[in-house]
Amino acid sequence: MNADQILVGISPVHPDDVVRVARSGTGVRLAGDALAEIARSREVIHSLANDDQPHYGVSTGFGALATKHIPVPMRAQLQRGLIRSHAAGSGPEVEREVIRALMLLRLSTLATGRTGVRVATAQAYAAMLDAGLTPVVHEYGSLGCSGDLAPLAHVALALMGEGEVRDAGGTLRPAAEALREKGIEPVELAEKEGLALVNGTDGMLGMLVIALADLRRLLTTADVAAAMSVEALLGTDAVFAEDLQALRPHPGQAGSAANLRMLLAGSGVMASHRGPECTRVQDAYSLRCAPQVHGAARDTVAHAAAVAGRELAAAIDNPVVTVDGRVESNGNFHGAPVAYVLDFLAIAAADVASMSERRTDRFLDVSRNHGLTPFLAHDPGVDSGHMIAQYTAAGIVSEMKRLAVPASVDSIPSSAMQEDHVSMGWAAARKLRRAVDGLTRVLAIEILTAARALDLRAPLQPAPATAAVRNAVRAAGVAGPGPDRYLAPEIEAVVDAVRTGAVLTAAQHAVPAPLS
C-alpha cells in the first residue's frame, strides 16, 4: 500500500482518515477482509437474481413503486434507471472535500459486505476515489432520508461513465473520458447495486466529521481570543480558578478554564491592576462566563462526536444482507441521529460567535474599554479604527443565528407519501458548514481587535501566549496601531491564520502544556 493511501476494511473508518481523504487527497484501497466479505454477500444477492419472489431493490421498483414486480430481463435496466433518475440535483456544485468524504463513507459501507454489491463494483468505486476523480454533486436534492439520494446518485452516475467529474487538478470533464484516462472501466450495474450506491447518510455524516475537526480547533481558538480580550480589557483571571470551576463539574467548562489560566499566565497587563487600588468587582458576562459558554459548546462537540462514531460504525443500506445471509428491509437510512447533532452544533457555534462579537464590541466603546481610544482609532474622528470590523462581525453573527434554526424539525413527505417523514439532515449539514465559516471569521475579528488593543496597552506587556498570538497576527501581514488603512485584507489574513491553525500553533508554543 502507498504511504498516501488508507486501507478500507470491515472496521469503521477513523474520523482523522475521513478528513485526510477529504482535504488532503489521500487515496484509498480496499482491504482483503473487505473483498472477502463483499464476495460472500454478493452470493446471497446472486441467488435471488432470478427469483420470482419479490425482493426490494432486486425484483421490485423503489419507494412508492415497491409493489411493482420487475421481470428478470429488466432488472439491470432497473438499476441504471434508478441512478439516472435519482441524479436529479440542482444548484451550485458541492465542495470537493464534501464529495470525497461522502465517497469514502459509502465505500466503507460497501466494504462491510452488508450491501450485496459485486467486488468489481466496489473496487471501481475505490479506484475513482483513489484517482482523485470527484463527481459533480449539486447543493439540492437530498432530504436526508432513504439516504442522501441525489448526491450519492450523481457519484454513482459517474461510476457508470455518465455525467461529469472534476479531475485531481479541478478540471471539469466528462466522466467517461476521465475514467478511461485512469484505466477505470465504467460499471454496468447488476441487481441491487444501484440501490446500494445511494442508500446512506454518507453526505451528512461526512460533513459532520469535517465540521467536528474544525470546531475542535475553533473552540480552542475561542479560548485564545477570550484570553486576549480579558487581558486587553483589564479583566480578571481570578474567576477562572480551578476550585471555582470545579463547583460546576462540566468537562468542557473545566477544559476551557484551564486553557484560559495557561494563556494568561505571566501577564504584565493582568499584574498591573491586581493591587488594592483596583475597584473592579467582576467583569461583564462575555469575559467572566467564557468557560461556561465555550465549555458547553465543547460538550456539545463531544456528544456529536459520539453520534458520529456510532454512525461511522454503521452499515447503512436498504435492504441489507445480514451476517447470517438474510436480505431484510429496514429504516436505518433515516438521518435523524446525525441531523439532530448537526443542528445542535450550529446552535453552539452561533452562541460562541455571539459572545466573541460582544467582546469585540467592548473594545470599541470608550465607556467600556478602560482607557483605550474610541474604536481603537489612531486619531478618533479623523480615523474610525475598527468600527466597521465590528459591523462585519455583527452581520455574520446575525446570519449564524438564522442558521441555528433547526432543519431537522422540518419534514416534507415525498415518494407519494411512502417516505412521509424525512430528516433534512443534508440541509442541517450544509448550514453548519456556513456556521463554521462564520465562527472562523468572527473569532478572527476579535483576535485582530484584541491584538491592536494589546499594543495600545504598551508599555505593559501581555502574557507570553497572548503576545505570541499578537506577533503571529503581525507576521501574517497585519501592521500595528496607526492611521486608518484598508482593513478587509487584514481581516482575511487573520481568518486564514485561524483556519489553518497558525493562531493556535503560536499560542501552543508559548504555554507549558497542551491546550485542550
Percentage of the chain beyond pLDDT 70 is 95
Distance CA 118, CA 124 (A): 10
Provide the 8-state DSSP code for 372: P
Residue type, 436: V
Q: What is the pLDDT of residues 393-441, one digit of tens each?
A: 999 999 999 999 999 999 888 887 888 889 999 999 999 999 999 999 9
pLDDT of residue 64: 55
Tell me phi and psi for residue 160, to 5 degrees.
-80, -5
Distance CA 316, CA 112 (A): 10
pLDDT of residue 79: 86
Contact in structure between 447 and 226 (CB atoms under 8 Å): no
The distance of Cα 348 from the centroid of its chain, to the nearest Å, equals: 13
Average pLDDT, the chain: 94
Identify whether 285 is a catalytic site residue: no
Peptide bond into 319 cis (omega under 30): yes
Distance CA 317, CA 114 (A): 8
Integer angstrom CA distances of residue 358 from 10, 182, 284, 351, 504: 48, 53, 10, 11, 21
Tell me phi and psi for residue 380, to 5 degrees.
-50, 135
Contact in structure between 10 and 108 (CB atoms under 8 Å): no
Contact residues for 502 (Cβ-Cβ < 8 A; gap 6+)? 472, 476, 496
Query: In the structure, what pLDDT confidence band is assigned to residue 282 with cuts at 50, 70 and 90?
Result: confident
Exposure class string for 470-503: b at 16+ Cβ within 10 A, else e = bebbeebebeebeeeeebeebbebbbebbbeebb
Which tops the pLDDT comparison, 63 or 457?
Answer: 457
Closest CA to 173 of 210, 220, 135, 123: 135
pLDDT of residue 57: 65
Q: Are strands 172-174 and 138-140 parallel, antiparallel or unpaired?
A: unpaired
**Torsion angle of C-alpha atoms 323, 326, 327, 330, degrees rounded to 10:** -70
Distance CA 170, CA 100 (A): 13
Q: Are strands 27-30 and 5-8 parallel, antiparallel or unpaired?
A: parallel
pLDDT of residue 49: 72
pLDDT of residue 4: 87
Residue type, 345: L
pLDDT of residue 53: 73
Q: Can you list the domains of the chain with their CATH numbers?
A: 5-200 (1.10.275.10), 207-508 (1.20.200.10)
| Catalytic residue (choose from 56, 140, 285, 486) | 56
DSSP per residue, 127-150: HHHHTT-EE--EEE---SSSSSHH
- As given in the structure block, the three cell numbers for residue 95 are 465542495
Q: Rounded to 5 degrees, what angle do the CA atoms 381, 387, 389 make?
A: 150
Q: What is the pLDDT of residues 147-178, one digit of tens each?
A: 899 999 999 999 999 999 999 999 999 999 99
Q: What is the pLDDT of residues 318-375, one digit of tens each?
A: 889 999 999 898 988 999 999 999 999 999 999 999 999 999 999 999 999 999 999 9
Mean pLDDT of all residues in 184-200? 94
Residue type, 367: S
